[in-house]
Structures are given as structure tokens and as C-alpha cells.
Structure 1
Amino acid sequence: MTNPNLPNITSGISRRGILQGSAAVGAMALAGPLGAGSAHAQPKKGGVFRVAIAAGNTNENYDPGTWDNQYVQVFATARHGYLVEITADGDLIGEVAESWGASDDATVWTFKIRKGVEFHSGGTVTPEDVIASIDYHRGEKSTSAAKPFVQPIKDMKADGDSVVFTLEAGNADFPFVVSDYHLPIMKAKDGKLDPTSSDGCGPYKVANYEPGVIAELVRNPNYWKTDRAHFDEVKLLTIVDPAARQSALLTGNVDVIDQVDLKTVGLFGRAPNVTILSTTGTQHYTFAMDTRAAPFNDNNVRMALKHAVDRQGLVDKILFGYGSIGNDHPISPSNRFYAKDLEQTTYDPDKAKYYLKQAGLDSLKVKLSAADAAFGGAVDAAVLYSSSADKCGIDIQPVREPNDGYWSDVWMKKPFCAVYWGGRPTEDWMFSTAYASGAPWNDTFWENERFNKLLLEARSELDDAKRAEMYGEMQNLVRTDGGVVIPMFASYVMAHTNNVAHPEKVAANWTLDGFRACERWWFA
């Protein structure tokens, strides 16, 4: 078995295709399954599909504005429908929306709502349900993680069987925006959503949910996609510990796991009845600094820390070759406007010491919080980072945090911590989610006036050459001024039993087939 590396692919997206609601060329690259002999078998119905996921905690709920890890995201796509779906090729196809189109300046978008899409509780999806579902994330009082990229919607209205969105400025990527997992189409009552409701219009209905433990679902008999939702039942289990997750697969207690422990992937893949599945895309691992807190409020300190990490060492020892080095910005080689000519930030003790001196320091001591809940091998990565930084006059003290509650008690609470990001299919989406001023998930609390100005301008710019120039400058601003160290892009490495089958192409925009394994996979 060979280790796939992220390919240097710049995929073009047809603006005409997006504007007219047709298939666009994908923004994500993928590596096919390794040894998945049953992947091409004809789908058949039946069985109980058990998935062990390396995330989940007792604080989770049904409120779509709060979803923040892969467990709730897989759970969401198992029960909900969305306006559009990102395919395994990275194309956009209609889901609750049958088709869509835009004005010439991409400020007005019209989505025709598919007829006959039924909610689990009864009744069909209406344009009013769509409007309420998106509106829930907007407004001054909204705390939704989706707020930054739906806030530019100036107006929504029903027009027959369609919903018309009017934006503050043109956005050629708007159809991608409404595919976000925070934006399921939910049932409205008097124009409002019930964020405590499990009701949806997706492939499975919730039978039982114990946050941080298990979600149990049964097939929706009225699901409009007759060629999907093959399992009778789905069980999603939280198993954060990687050894326990792999043991569950080996002993037949689950059928699929995500985040295989890369330290043992070679041996694990040779076990009977185990198939390793690896896909490459936009997933990246980071060390986020709170730029409001000393010493991280000094960019010289941030630059010193960026030159103090041995990136290739982390790719080799933490990812075991399943990935590639990062350059302290979140745009991957598979993104459309990836700035391939940017200077690579390298491990350089002399430069690190120079920046420390510019900060008026001879040495530096900081604590770095990490847990395997952040990403597999995060604690080991922190230790390796500490070792390389030691030669730079920087004393990084790794702090092993509890896995349970990491995302609620450590992330965006501790000033320096390990984080994983699934990435996003467009540059605007990624930047708006985690780097824009005031974004709920801006985990470095970074503020850069030039960056925020470019973000707005690039979103409404329809000339691809100009957009590429703008996004290139933004990547460089994050690299040279931002509060995040991004040492590596990581492949999604999963495993399943040999009786699990899936399409020949598996999506790489998120783990577990773009979070849609429950809907797209089947038992051979």
C-alpha cells in the first residue's frame, strides 16, 4: 500500500455552470479507495450501518448554528436535506433545490424548490421553509457559525415555487455557500424554526440520540432519492480514542471508522476484513494563536513561531506521508485560486531568532494545548514542534488536554492550541468562516483591514484573473500576518470492513464521503 500525497491540482469552476445550476468542474481532488474490491458492486438495500467517529461530546444538540465537528456534521446530513449537494467530483447538483440561476452581476439568485420533498413529520418542503431555514442564521442576535456567509443576503422572498435571494453584492460562489452543513432545510412554523427539533427531510429519521454517545436512525420510507439511503438503520457512535475505534472495527462492533491512527495504519490495513480508504482535499491541521493575547499580539512572535516548526518532519512522523506541508494559510493545492508561487515559510532557527529579537526578546516560553480530539497525533505533533522550536530559543510546553470537551473548553479558550479544519470548497467560504473580522470561528481573533477589504471585493469580482490576484494577496496576508501556524494538509484516512461498499469515487471535501456515507454507501 502506497501513501497518497496531495496532488498539485488547480481545478477550474465554470462560472456559467454555477450561475445556471449545471455541473461545475470540481474544486476538490481525491484518491480512490485502496483495496476496496466491493466498491463497484450494485447497491442493495438492508442492514444496520454502524460508524465510529472520532468526535462528539455531551454538549451537542440539534441547533444547526452550533455544529462544530465531524460527528454532528455526519449526523446532520443523515437526517437533513440541503438546497444543493456537492458531489464526489466536486460538482454542484440540486437537492431540495431542483435548479437555480442568477442575474448577470450575480447579486440575485433564484432557486426553484423541488416538489414532493417530504419532512419526516409530514408535509412537503415549501419556499417558506427554505427562507426560514436560512434566515435563522442571519440578524444581529444570531450566534450561528454560518452568520458570516449568509449575512450578505439582503432579502429573501418566495416567488411561486422558487426562492429569490438578493445579495448586498455579487457572489459567483453563492450556490456553494448554501451547501454548508449549517444550513439544512428545516420545517418552519409561523416563519420560525425550532432549533430543538430532530425533524428533517433527509434520508434517515432519528429514533434515539444521546449526545456524545450514540445517534440511532431509521430509513425514511418517503425519501425522494430512490437510489440512496440503502441501510435499514444507521448507528453513529462517538469513539474518540483511536485504539478503541480501531479495535471496534477489528472485533466487528462497527462497520466504518474515521481518522485511522496513522502510526499503525500499515499493520491495521493488513488485518483480515479491513479496507483502508484515503482521500485528499482541503483538510488541514493548525496551531492557532489568540492574537489578542500576549505574546501572540506581536506579529514578530507569530513569525518566530512559524519559522520554528519542522513542517516536513510533521508530515513524515505525524501523517506518515498521508498529506503535504502547509504554508500558514488554509487554501490547498486543490482549491481553484491556490497561490502556488507564494514563498514557502521554512524551518529556520536563525529567522526565528531574528523575529524574537525584533520583538525585544532573547527567548520565549509558551504553552501549547493539544489533544487527539483536535486531530490524530496532535499531542505528538506538539511535542515535535517543541523539539524543533527549542533550537530557535523558544520553549514550547505541550499541555495534554482532555479529549472530552476539547472543542468547548479549549478551542478558542486557550491562547495557543491544536485545531483541525476540514477546509472549504471555495476561498471565500474558508476565509469568511475562520479569518474574517468578527467571524464566530475566527479562532485566532485576527483583524486585518486590508484582508477584510479584499474579502468583500473578491467575493463580488467576476473576473477570474482579478479574483486570483486578490485571493493570492489574501493568502500571503494570512501567511505573514495571521495568527495561525498551518504546518500540514492531511488526507482523510478511514477504514471499513470488506462487506461495506461505496461508489467508485468518494468525496474528499469532508471525511466519510463528504459526510454522506450514510446516504451513499451500502452493504455488498
Structure 2
Amino acid sequence: MKSSHLYRFILGWIAIFAIISSSNAMAATATKIRIGSQPVNALDPHFIASIADILVTEQMYHHLTFIDPSNNPVSDLALSWESPDGKVWTFTLDDGPVFSNGTPVTAKDVVFSYNRLRDPKIGAPTVKLYENVSEITALDDHTVRFTLNQPNPDFPSDAGDFHACVIPDGTKNPGKAHIGSGPYMIKSYFPEDRLILKKNPHFKGKVNLDEIHFIFSPDIGGQIEALRGGELDFVGGLTTEFAETIKNASNTKLLLNSANMHWVIHMRSDAGHVAADSRVRKALKLATDHQSIINAVRPGLASVGNGFSPVGPAFAGLHLVEKPVMDLEKAKALLAEAGFAKGLTIDLVAQNQLDVIPIATVWKEQMSKIGVTVNIQVIPTDVYYGEGENSWLKCDFGITDWGSRATPVTYFNLAYVSDGPWSSSHWKDAEFDDLVHQVGIEMKLDKRTELYHKLQRILIDRGPVIVPYFEKAVVGVSKNLNGVELPSDWARTRFWNASITR
């Protein structure tokens, strides 16, 4: 058995090395960095979802604002913003950025981009996020006004959502056009093995790198070996074991930051599915030992939070501090009440990425203690985020990755309200929906905090997810790579100021 695993590992590493060698031969004289990555799923920036999608688009596009390593909105395309009442927000734009097609960026491009992001007919995941926007107006070439239906104190953060990439006015097919105003643009794309970015010749800032090579492989172990061997320069989302390996190697180093990154075990809760019964959901929660999952999967690089909400400790006072409760006997009793006294069998879909399979394995063992049999179905990440029956939005139980967001309400609007576009649980709760609406427009911090705590209480009591832990952002890089600042969501890492010595 061990020989079989070793054989597959060696074959995986050889495949990565072959891809990298091919990439090196294509650009032997270029100053470049090589990123270990899962395959890209989407290149329309308004529809990106996976870590790989985000990591690529962050090199190509501006947003109005960007979320800094401390989770605050800072200038990106917008130099400044103001609002007298939280309802009318005016952004003043930098007059320097130019798209990769040579066209200067103007307020009209911002209006077009954000209108597309909020258009239900287009159907981007941000429709819910921007539904409070009633009108977007270009006051002149470099001033944009957003008029909201109701106040939103966090709108500058919302404007910096990773989907909110500014594209040229009138772009018909952004997924094929790939026109941004960031420092890089697509040179070539081979879906099975790599994507190569080159300099945007119209970018006015200093750019040290000629190219960025994204080398696709689902084998994180192979990526780590390639990093140690000097064939990659950046690998993200490390487990504790891999982090120790990188920390102890002579030619690599770690970058870390606090984050609200987390995995969600979602339980599909609409009619006809076993977790539609709140007693089943509660039983699975009561049988989950969060700290044991951390100890097995990510010791020293994660914290528990309150167990069943996406609002982690990184949100400080907005986070409801409450330790998850375990009670195996009560869990068994609840299952019996729900009609599963003799046991329950469920299928858990696990994407082949990072911590997912270890989490699934530990959780499966924990569930066996209350008579629940968990069948783990491992599928590629691109299949998990695809359209099939085992995809994240269709499967009964799945494990989904969530990056850091600037505000907790973003998670709620995307995946927890009844009409959330990424509601993998299909859970509906009228009281929860109403509170989400209230927290989104409340201008007073003390009242907003109270509402956030009520929302988390509902999720703890009857919500549709288990959050095993909140992890630190940790990536491994070559010791020769400099100028990279790690955001709280490492998928949003920008290499705009990166440099490397060989």
C-alpha cells in the first residue's frame, strides 16, 4: 500500500516537473516566477470562484478598492471616496490606469462593470451583494457616484469584492476578451497544464517581472517538492506538515497572515434531503469535535471560532465568542427522533484540494460514534465547482473553501440567505433573511454588532453548516522571491511589486 502511494507521488512529481520544464523552455530568458496552482475554472472576472481563478485575475484587473492585509478597504482604482449619509457614495478615480488594449480607464468603465455585476439577467454571484445599489453615475471621466436604496456603512469594502474587476465599457465577452488595467495580461493558456501572463505594455507603474507562469497540478505534495527543488516559486494553502517542510528547507520561506479563511461542511437542507430535518443537522453538529480536527489537520495554524458560523475571530467584536458544544448522547437521541435510530448513511463529496480529504477523514470517524456512516467521494476541484450532480451546489454534503471577506455580511448574502447565489445548503430561514437585511443597512456599530451576534446564534442553533476551523493564511515561497505582501485571503495575493533573483 505504501509502495503504491509512493509510486503515485513520484509520478505526480515527474508530471509537474515535465510541465515546468516545458514552461521554462518557452521563456528561458524572461524574468518570471512560477506559481503552483489548481487548474483555472473561469476567466470571466465577474464569475470567478476558485482560488486559482482569483489568483490569476488579481494580476490582471483593478477594483475600485482593494482589501489590505488588515481587512480594510484601501485605494486601488479609486484614490478616495466619501459619503454624507451612507446612501450616496462618491469615488474619485486615478487618471493613470490604461487597459491592456491601450484605452484609458474612465468612470464609464466603472459604471459598466458594476452594472454588469448587479444585473440579474447576467447572473453574476454579486447580484445579491449589490442589490442595494439603485443607480451608478459617471459625474465626469474620473468621478463615479453610487446611489443606494438604503445606507451601507461597508460599501467601500463591498466595492473591493474580488469579483468586482473593472473592464472596458461595452465588453461583450469578458471571459474571452481578458482586458484589464492591471500590470499583466494573458500570453497563453493551456487548460490542462498552465497559464502564462505577460506584462501589460500600457501599465504605467514599475513592473519587475516579465512573466508569471501558473503551473497546474492537483498534487500539492508534488508542488511542495517542486518548490523545494527550485522549480516553483510560490505554493499556497499549506497544511501544517507542508509548512514545516518549507520552514526547514534552506531555499524556501513562509509568508503568514491572520485570516478568516475557512472550510464549510455544508448540509443540503431543502425538502427531500436528509438534512432538511433540523434534528439531523443538530446531531451532526453535536458530534463534531473541532479541536480534534485542528489537531489532526492544521495544528498551530488554525482556531475553532464558534463552530457553525463564517464569522471568525478575525472579525474581533463582530464575532460571537462561544465554544462549540459536543454531546454524543444527545446527538444519538436526536437522530432517533428523526427516524434514524438504527443509523444513517450519507455521501460526502470532497474536492481533491488542500485540507479537504484530511478533514473528511477525521469527520467521518467522528460521525461513526453516533451511528452515521460517511462515504467520502473524492473528485477534482474543477468538477466540484462545475455543473454536475456532485458539484458543490447540488450535492447533499460537501466541503467548500471560503476565503476572507472584508465584511461578514458578504458571506451571508452569498451563501446563507434564501436566495443566495452560492447557497450550497439551499437552507431557508425567514428570520435570518430579515436580520441580514437589517445588518446591511445599520450605521451604528453597537447595533450592527448585536445583529451579527443574533445571526450567529441562529446558525449555531439551526444553521446548515459546520465550520471545522479558521485557518491562518500561509504560503511557501522561494527565498529569492521578494516584494510579495500576503493579504488575509491569500488567493488575492498580488505580484505587482514582486521581484526574484536567480
User: TM-score scaled by structure 1?
Assistant: 0.84
1:234 — aligned with what? 212
Kindly indicate whether residue 340 of structure 2 is the aligned counterpart of residue 340 of structure 1.
no
2:182 — aligned with what? 202
Distance apart, 1:193 and its partner CA:
6.4
Question: Which deviations, in whole Å up to 9, do the C-alpha atoms of 1:133-158 show, x marking residues without a partner?
Answer: 01112233132111111121111111
For residues 196 and 225 of structure 1, what CA distance do their matches in structure 2 show?
Answer: 25
Q: 8 Å contact 2:71–2:405 — kept in the other structure?
A: no
Q: 1:49 aligns with which of 33, 41, 45?
A: 33
1:390 — aligned with what? 368
Q: 1:445 aligns with which of 403, 426, 437?
A: 426
Distance apart, 1:194 and its partner CA:
4.0
For residues 125-204 of structure 1, the aligned pairs below 5 Å read: 125-160=105-140, 161-189=142-170, 194-204=174-184
1:489 — aligned with what? 470
Q: 8 Å contact 1:212–1:238 — kept in the other structure?
A: yes
Q: 8 Å contact 1:136–1:193 — kept in the other structure?
A: no
For residues 304 and 444 of structure 1, what CA distance do their matches in structure 2 show?
Answer: 16
- Note closer, same or farther for the CA distance 1:88–1:416 as it changes in structure 2 (3 Å cut): same
Residue identity over aligned pairs, in percent, reads 25
- Note closer, same or farther for the CA distance 1:345–1:246 as it changes in structure 2 (3 Å cut): same
For residues 264 and 100 of structure 1, what CA distance do their matches in structure 2 show?
Answer: 42
Q: Secondary structure at the match of 2:385?
A: helix
2:449 — aligned with what? 468
For residues 257 and 173 of structure 2, what CA distance do their matches in structure 1 show?
Answer: 35
Q: 2:331 aligns with which of 352, 365, 369?
A: 352
For residues 310 and 341 of structure 1, what CA distance do their matches in structure 2 show?
Answer: 17
Q: What one-letter code is carried by the residue in structure 2 that aligns with 1:146? A: T
Q: What one-letter code is carried by the residue in structure 2 that aligns with 1:436? A: V
**What number of residue pairs does the alignment pair up?**
465
For residues 372 and 488 of structure 1, what CA distance do their matches in structure 2 show?
Answer: 18
Q: Secondary structure at the match of 2:240?
A: coil
For residues 336 and 325 of structure 1, what CA distance do their matches in structure 2 show?
Answer: 14
Give runs of ≥4 in structure 1 deviating > 6 Å. Answer: none
1:380 — aligned with what? 358
- By percentage of residues, which structure has more helix? 2
For residues 154 and 210 of structure 1, what CA distance do their matches in structure 2 show?
Answer: 40
Q: Secondary structure at the match of 2:58?
A: helix
Q: 1:102 aligns with which of 54, 58, 83?
A: 83
For residues 295-306 of structure 1, the aligned pairs below 5 Å read: 295-306=274-285
Question: Which deviations, in whole Å up to 9, do the C-alpha atoms of 1:417-441 show, x marking residues without a partner?
Answer: 1111113121111211221221111
For residues 80 and 319 of structure 1, what CA distance do their matches in structure 2 show?
Answer: 33
For residues 308 and 171 of structure 1, what CA distance do their matches in structure 2 show?
Answer: 38
Gaps of 5+ in 1: 1-45
Q: 8 Å contact 1:423–1:430 — kept in the other structure?
A: no
Distance apart, 1:108 and its partner CA:
0.8
For residues 203 and 377 of structure 1, what CA distance do their matches in structure 2 show?
Answer: 32
Q: 8 Å contact 1:88–1:506 — kept in the other structure?
A: yes
Q: 2:99 aligns with which of 105, 119, 127?
A: 119
Question: Which deviations, in whole Å up to 9, do the C-alpha atoms of 1:336-388 show, x marking residues without a partner?
Answer: 5433343x223321121132133233122211121332xx2322221211211
Q: Secondary structure at the match of 2:447?
A: helix
For residues 101 and 201 of structure 2, what CA distance do their matches in structure 1 show?
Answer: 12
TM-align CA RMSD: 1.9
Distance apart, 1:99 and its partner CA:
1.3
For residues 31-70 of structure 1, the aligned pairs below 5 Å read: 47-53=31-37, 55-57=38-40, 60-70=41-51
Distance apart, 1:62 and its partner CA:
2.6
User: Which one is further off, 415-424 or 390-399?
Assistant: 390-399
Q: What one-letter code is carried by the residue in structure 1 that aligns with 2:427? A: W
Q: 8 Å contact 2:45–2:174 — kept in the other structure?
A: no
Larger RCO, structure (CA 8 Å, separation 6 or more):
1
User: Which one is further off, 480-489 or 377-386?
Assistant: 377-386
Question: Which deviations, in whole Å up to 9, do the C-alpha atoms of 1:368-413 show, x marking residues without a partner?
Answer: 121332xx23222212112111111222222223445222142112
For residues 221 and 139 of structure 1, what CA distance do their matches in structure 2 show?
Answer: 32
1:32 — aligned with what? none
Q: 8 Å contact 1:102–1:110 — kept in the other structure?
A: yes
Q: Secondary structure at the match of 1:382?
A: helix
For residues 163 and 33 of structure 2, what CA distance do their matches in structure 1 show?
Answer: 24
2:301 — aligned with what? 322
Q: 1:419 aligns with which of 400, 405, 430?
A: 400
User: Which one is further off, 285-294 or 90-99?
Assistant: 90-99
Q: 8 Å contact 1:328–1:479 — kept in the other structure?
A: yes
